[in-house]
Amino acid sequence: MFIVKNRKIFFIFSGLLVVASLFLIFTRGLNVGIDFTGGTSLEIVYPVERPALSDVKQAIENAEVGEVSIRPFGDDGFMFQTQSDATSTHQAIYDALLTEDMTASTTPIMKAPNYIGPSIGEELRSKAWIAIITVILGIVLFVAYSFRQASKKVSSWKYGIIAVIALAHDIIIPTGVAALLGIEIGSLFIIALLAILGLSVNDTIVVFDRVRENIQLKVSRDFKELVGKSLNQTFVRSINTSITTLLVVVLLYFIGPATTRDFALILSIGLAIGTYSSIFLASPLLIEAEKIQKKQNIAKDN
């Protein structure tokens, strides 16, 4: 009952996290990758020994070739992404790495650039939005249909709306972290968000399902008490399941390839926030929805 009694504290905490994330998104902006803007992806490999990422970034900065995104690629190379498709820019990036310090052990090899046109970037961006919106609408319809028998206290469609509120909370906060850290918003980031949506709604439905069962079993006439008991019954299961999944993703962050590190970081944050929202946000919101519905029913009767 601790969560139920102190739900306003958790509402305020979640609100502050969301506001802070939105502030970061709108003030710092998002580092949108060439997947969505169009540009060129250039791979340069070092057959013998790859230099430090910090040295490569410094060399590119000194060359003043414009804005270039750099990340380790595989075990022996770097991936350079720029919105410019000019051959001179690609050559300037390569030339910047041909300094004495950078080629002390091996001469880098530049592979053929991979071009992504603006129209392709626009198409990918549209498909990303369609994927997210489709998932959200599907969740609302699925939850509303599944919980139609639990609508005595709260209308079934409100279960779906509350689930979406929790999901919005779960993707806004990781996106705010991405804005803070300058993480590239590309295909992997969208995949991470979709994974967060799926894993988070699973936790939420587990709790909601126990609420539905307790309503049918008439565990308590007091809806607030019923939700509190449902949370107590599912709390350990939700935490253990999330921790198990989170350990795998955290392990991927530390020992996985550098190309998936940002993906693992965003997914880890999303998993933690999703577990929190399922327990501390979505379920308490059911209580508020029930209170509003009760007032509406009283008003209709009068």
Torsion of CA 27, 60, 174, 251, to 10 degrees: -160
Residues 233-272: tens digit of each pLDDT: 888 888 888 888 889 899 988 887 777 888 999 999 999 9
CA distance to 73, 123, 172, 198, 296, per residue, from 235 (Å): 40, 42, 24, 19, 31
Q: What angle do CA 192, 198, 203 make, to 5 degrees?
A: 125
Give the confidence band of 126 by pLDDT, cuts at 50, 70, 90. confident
pTM of the model: 0.82
Residues 47-70: tens digit of each pLDDT: 877 888 888 888 888 877 777 888
Assess contact for 111 and 44: CB atoms under 8 A. Answer: yes
Rounded to an integer, the average pLDDT of 4-13 is: 89
Higher pLDDT, 242 or 128: 242
CA distance to 12, 48, 119, 137, per residue, from 203 (Å): 21, 47, 38, 18
Assess contact for 201 and 284: CB atoms under 8 A. Answer: no
Higher pLDDT, 73 or 280: 280
Rounded to an integer, the average pLDDT of 196-221 is: 84
Rounded to an integer, the average pLDDT of 166-192 is: 90
- Alpha-carbon span 172 to 166, nearest angstrom: 10
Per cent of the chain over pLDDT 70 is 91
